[in-house]
Amino acid sequence: MQSNLIQVTAAVIRRDGKILLCGRLPGSRFAECMEFPGGKAEAGETLNECLKRELREELGAEVYVMDLIHVEQVLFGEKALQVNFFRTAFKHGSPPPLPREGQSVRWVSVETIDREPMLPGDRHLAELLASAEKKWKKNAFAQ
């Protein structure tokens, strides 16, 4: 993978056993895919600042960016991306997420997130989250 990776942020927002996903814009590359909300960092912007800005622009939401939980490097066409996934939560009083850029937004069960058509850079984390959720439920109820 190239050393000049484009830095991308993505939010993993969990509520009531579900994860927030966004649908790609109709007519865009991978339009049939879902993705974790986020976007590319601008020059001079920290990853934390980037994720807050992207969620404000895309969803009108104010968020707390917590810990980095996963990093994925992926080729997206001719571009080499490093996708930085952060555990994220809505700030108290933030309006519900509403798509502002034409994309769809929906809450998907953590246990079945791996069945969603995901962007290539998001697929691995979706599989990890679903697997961990299934193991947790199996172990929690096996006692």
Residue 20 vs residue 79, higher pLDDT: 20
pLDDT at 141 over 90: no
Taking residues 12-36, report their average pLDDT. Answer: 90
Task: Select from 39, 139, 55 the least CA-distant residue to 97.
Answer: 55
pLDDT in tens, 54-67: 999 999 999 999 99
* pLDDT of the residue at 127: 94
pLDDT tier at 134, thresholds 50, 70, 90: confident
Amino acid at 31: A
pLDDT in tens, 93-111: 888 888 888 789 999 999 9
pLDDT at 22 over 50: yes
Other C-beta atoms lying within 10 Å of the C-beta of residue 14: 15
Q: To the nearest 10°, report the CA torsion of 36, 40, 44, 50.
A: -30
Could you give all domains of the chain from N- to C-terminal order, each with its CATH number? 5-141 (3.90.79.10)
Is the overall model pTM greater than 0.75, yes or no? Answer: yes
Bridge partners, 76 (sequence order): 79
* pLDDT of the residue at 1: 47
